[in-house]
Amino acid sequence: MSLKKQKISYGILTALLLVFTASTHAQEVTGTLGSPSATTTISGKQLPAPDPKFSGVIKKNAAESKAWWAPRVVPPKSAPNVLLIMTDDVGYGAPSTFGGVIPTPALDRIAKAGLRYTCMNSTSLCSPTRAALITGRNHHSAGFGVISEQSTGFPGYNSIIAKDKATIGRILQDNGFSTSWFGKDHNTPTFSASQVGPFDQWPIGMGFEYFYGFVGGDTSQWQPNLFRNTTAIYPYIGKSEWNLTTAMADDAIEWLNMLNQIDPEKPFFCYYVPGGTHAPHHATPEWIKKITDMHLFDEGWNKLRETIYANQKKLGVIPQDAKMTPWPEELLKEWDQLSADDKKMFIRQVNVYAAYLAYTDHEIGRVVQAVEDMGKLDNTIIIYISGDNGGSVEGTLIGTPNEVASFNGVDVPVELQLKEFYDVWGSDETYNHMAVPWSWAFDTPFSWSKQIASHFGGVRQGMCVSWPGHIDDEGGIRHQFHHVIDVVPTLLEVCNIPAPEEVDGIKQAPIEGVSFAYTFKNENVDAPSTHKTQYFEMMGDHAIYHEGWIASTKVIRPPWEIVGPVNQDPFGNVTWELYDLTKDWTQSNDVAATNPEKLEEMKQLFLQEAEKYQVLPLDASVATRLVAPRPNITAGRTEFVYTSPLTGIPQGDSPLILNTSYTITAEVEIPKENAEGVLLTSGGRFGGYGFYVLKGKPVFLWNLVDLKRPRWEAAEALSPGKHTLEFDFKYDGLGAGTLAFNSMSGIGRSGTGVLKVDGQAVATQKMEHTIPLILQWDETFDIGSDTGTPVDDSDYQIPFKFSGKLNKLTLTMDKPHLTPEDMKKLEAAQRNNKSSE
């Protein structure tokens, strides 16, 4: 080709590429145009960016043709790496960075290198906060008015992040970032969490190229329900010292190093959200000893509040005139009112919790250090949010060795805790949670806790941000009011990437948060917040913030009473409080009586916001929503047939045999050398059932939240050959007898089980009570082996694979005996009628 023709061809090539870049508003093009090394940024308005037209030259043969490669999409050169960290169930006053006594050096490090934010707010519950965090929209807008386990068929409550609300992961991925998610995913609907998907609501379907973590609200850190992308993995088997908190940091560091070695120029977005410190509080023995030896809590929860409050004023993370909210004497005991046994047990509980927080922060510090070791810390923005809501009070007033028990309305007395669980608290023998007053203390200086959206104890989170070279006031403090929905617009601003107008052909809903990047400049230290208005709502409890005022509904239901009385009219039958936050930082002085016009204005504003963001209809129910119907793939089915081993089916997608009659039949072949192993389990060590063969004898066992284990066992071992094993359970139904296990009408009632071999009854027993609400949620429905924890450790250890041949397993059940009227009775059951075991 002549030089003149070459110039013409390159001219055409350049013109065509300019047409492409103009159509995408690309800001930066590098490398020789059309070469394999060429890169470009995109406008980001349409995701994915449209493919450019081929701009090479095609003739009859390759010698006369000119190859051309579309430029690879990269972020703007100014875009930093992003490390977004959030812990779980951590009250404002828990970490040392915000006045607490629990050492959190990693959070301290980010604060020292950047800024501390004292007015960052959450939604008061875990997955709603997480949906808001990754979408930049309010939690009801993102479908997460509550957790998926309580989802209902309304747009604001169905636990489905709609396709018009692309996540920050998807936006950054399509703009050239490598994206990853480590830890807790509580944004996949329970009815989409099995191996059949769909996977569009899993991390890898929401823009995260790599996922290592667990799908539900919490999990054992010793034997977690763990996934890599969408594949269940079991790295803990045979490793007694393995713990997810460390393993997750190891995996994140490995991913970051892998990325850095393969493509050191490619920016990363790492969303790092460990399970700590949601129950179960699973810290290693070394960390428990370290914290216990510090004697941080020996003087009790009332003294702890005073210490935290004083520390907060010294640090400047609360105003000097901020008042401590009063201790709720009508709800919680003073420390000095407790017995010696109570104090001993409660100190053990909080030491383990504190160890878990310190341990979690330490492992986060390892990830931060890995970024520095790669030489990338100077070009990385780190946002570390301490907690996704206030301290959790889901452990009952006395704490529990088994959170599954407390969610089924069962208290474990302190006497039993001391006798059976004191030494193993925090190990895999417990699914532990501490007593309510500790969590209240960790929310200092505010009142209330997780689940409460109307008061800052439930929604105020400490947050630290570092970004070397871009934050003028290193070690500074910012008091502007902001919300987790502001993180996405902040990241988009610092990365110089616009919010997309269209993703996969779907017009995107507007981002509802506002950027807080303006606070990075020292000149804006006292600038008014750009976040002017914010509603709050959780299970009927609600509030509205507007330009320094907040109107809050008075808390009706203490959140540790999941079966207490419910306000059936959370709009009309409520008492409102009003606070002037410019004078009253902690909601200590209710001025509603002297400002009726302002209160009415705020109430109307809440209604406007509620209508705008899918908050309606308000629903104050709690337990009924746990058992409410939702699109479970088993819904409407009464027979299930399995012809081969199958493991890892989550509780939300497996047959639920609570509060109903059922029959489980297994057709097996026993070899000459005998056989044993699991036929079927659902749940595990802390609540569930198992059907298995032990030393040749068939066994059916119910684990009643680790407190009792009714057992049916044949007297004789099975002979070699084919057998039909059957467990038939007849539930006594509604209105039958006295309920000892749980007082909630219609559920948890008695029933009689019969174990049969080849049609002949070999064991019969009546259960006086059954599990009413939920099995161990981080354990799965397994056939042929057990993948989590045993239903009875004295019988077997996992995986206990069946060594015979399981030809067929059939589960048939009656429809559940719950009606809408029963569910109303359930919610109305009074807490003081609840029995203890």
Same domain, 28 and 90: no
Query: Does pLDDT of 150 surpass 50?
Result: yes
- More confident site: 207 or 823: 207
Q: How confident is the model at residue 818 (pLDDT cuts 50, 70, 90)?
A: low
Q: Is 141 within 8 Å of 7 (Cβ atoms)?
A: no
Q: How far apart are CA 346 and CA 341, in angstroms?
A: 9
Please indicate, yes or no, if residue 610 is contained in any of the structural domains: no
| The predicted structure's pLDDT at residue 733 | 72
Give the residue numbers spanning the domain of 722: 639-833
Query: Does pLDDT of 235 surpass 60?
Result: yes
Reference 87, options 530, 408, 340, 389; nearest CA is: 389
Amino acid at 58: I
* Burial grade of 12 (CB within 10 A; 0-12, 13-18, 19 or more): middle
Same domain, 353 and 218: yes
Q: The tokens 């819904």 sit on which residue?
A: 635
Number of domains comprising the chain: 3
Taking each helix axis as running N to C, give the angle between helix 340-373 and helix 105-113, from 0 to 180 degrees, rounded to the nearest 10. Answer: 50
Q: How far apart are CA 248 and CA 284, in angstroms?
A: 15
Please, how many CA atoms are within 13 Å of residue 768, restricted to the half-sphere of its CB? Answer: 7
Q: The tokens 């019988």 sit on which residue?
A: 795
> If you ran DSSP here, which 8-state letter would residue 523 be given?
G
Same domain, 217 and 249: yes
Query: Does pLDDT of 434 surpass 80?
Result: yes
Please indicate, yes or no, if residue 218 is contained in any of the structural domains: yes
Q: Edge to edge, what strands does the sheet with 805-813 contain?
A: 639-642, 805-813, 662-670, 721-731, 751-757, 760-767
Other Cβ atoms less than 10 A from the Cβ of 152: the count is 18
- List the CATH number of the domain containing 824: 2.60.120.560
What lies within 8 Å, CB to CB, of 293 at 6+ separation is none
Query: Does pLDDT of 554 surpass 90?
Result: yes
Same domain, 643 and 552: no
Taking each helix axis as running N to C, give the angle between helix 285-292 and helix 340-373, from 0 to 180 degrees, rounded to the nearest 10. Answer: 120
What lies within 8 Å, CB to CB, of 2 at 6+ separation is none
The encoded tokens of residue 331 equal 């709800």
Query: Does pLDDT of 736 surpass 60?
Result: no
Q: How far apart are CA 400 and CA 346, in angstroms?
A: 10
Peptide bond into 820 cis (omega under 30): no
Please indicate, yes or no, if residue 469 is contained in any of the structural domains: yes
| Average confidence score pLDDT of the chain | 91
Same domain, 325 and 379: yes
- Tell me the residue ranges of DSSP E strands in 467-575: 476-478, 482-483, 502-503, 506-507, 533-538, 541-546, 549-553
SS3 state of residue 296: coil
Q: How confident is the model at residue 572 (pLDDT cuts 50, 70, 90)?
A: confident
SS3 state of residue 227: strand
The encoded tokens of residue 107 equal 């959070």
Reference 803, options 623, 628, 659, 679; nearest CA is: 679
CA angle 216, 220, 222 (to 5 degrees): 140
**Per residue, what are the HEC states of 473-496?**
CCCEEECCCEEHHHHHHHHHHHHC
Same domain, 588 and 648: no
Same domain, 92 and 54: no
The encoded tokens of residue 288 equal 């428990």
SS3 state of residue 654: coil
Largest CA distance in the chain: 99
Please indicate, yes or no, if residue 620 is contained in any of the structural domains: no
The encoded tokens of residue 367 equal 């990830």
Residue that terminates a domain, selected from 57, 73, 89? 73
Q: Give the residues across from 465 on adjacent strands.
A: 115, 383
Query: Does pLDDT of 584 surpass 70?
Result: yes
pTM for the full model?
A: 0.92
Same domain, 592 and 682: no
Q: How far apart are CA 694 and CA 677, in angstroms?
A: 7
Q: How far apart are CA 304 and CA 91, in angstroms?
A: 13
* Consecutive H or E run containing 781: strand 781-783
Which has the minimum average pLDDT: 54-68, 442-456, 556-570, 721-735? 556-570
Same domain, 147 and 24: no
Average pLDDT, integer, range 557-581: 81
Q: How confident is the model at residue 826 (pLDDT cuts 50, 70, 90)?
A: low
Q: Is 146 within 8 Å of 559 (Cβ atoms)?
A: no
Please indicate, yes or no, if residue 451 is contained in any of the structural domains: yes
Please indicate, yes or no, if residue 614 is contained in any of the structural domains: no
- List the CATH number of the domain containing 351: 3.40.720.10
Average pLDDT, integer, range 255-282: 97
Q: Is 128 within 8 Å of 146 (Cβ atoms)?
A: yes
- Find how far residue 631's CA is from the centre of its chain: 20
Residue that terminates a domain, selected from 49, 73, 97? 73
pLDDT of 129-143, one tens digit each? 999 999 999 999 999
Average pLDDT, integer, range 698-704: 98
Reference 221, options 395, 392, 428, 434; nearest CA is: 428
Same domain, 57 and 121: no
Q: Is 356 within 8 Å of 281 (Cβ atoms)?
A: yes
> If you ran DSSP here, which 8-state letter would residue 50 be given?
P
Average pLDDT, integer, range 187-199: 90
Q: Dihedral of the CA atoms 482, 483, 485, 489 (nearest 10)?
A: 20
Q: How far apart are CA 751 and CA 194, in angstroms?
A: 30
Q: How far apart are CA 401 and CA 221, in angstroms?
A: 15
| The predicted structure's pLDDT at residue 628 | 76
- More confident site: 652 or 665: 665
Q: How confident is the model at residue 742 (pLDDT cuts 50, 70, 90)?
A: very low
Query: Does pLDDT of 15 surpass 50?
Result: no
Same domain, 87 and 105: yes
Q: Give the rounded percent of residues in the chain with a pLDDT score beyond 70.
A: 92
The encoded tokens of residue 545 equal 């913030």
Please indicate, yes or no, if residue 782 is contained in any of the structural domains: yes
pLDDT of 412-422, one tens digit each? 999 999 999 99
Q: How far apart are CA 442 and CA 353, in angstroms?
A: 11
Q: How far apart are CA 463 and CA 485, in angstroms?
A: 13
Please indicate, yes or no, if residue 597 is contained in any of the structural domains: yes
Residue that terminates a domain, selected from 73, 105, 129? 73
Same domain, 94 and 210: yes
| The predicted structure's pLDDT at residue 13 | 39
Average pLDDT, integer, range 386-398: 96
Q: Is 383 within 8 Å of 84 (Cβ atoms)?
A: yes
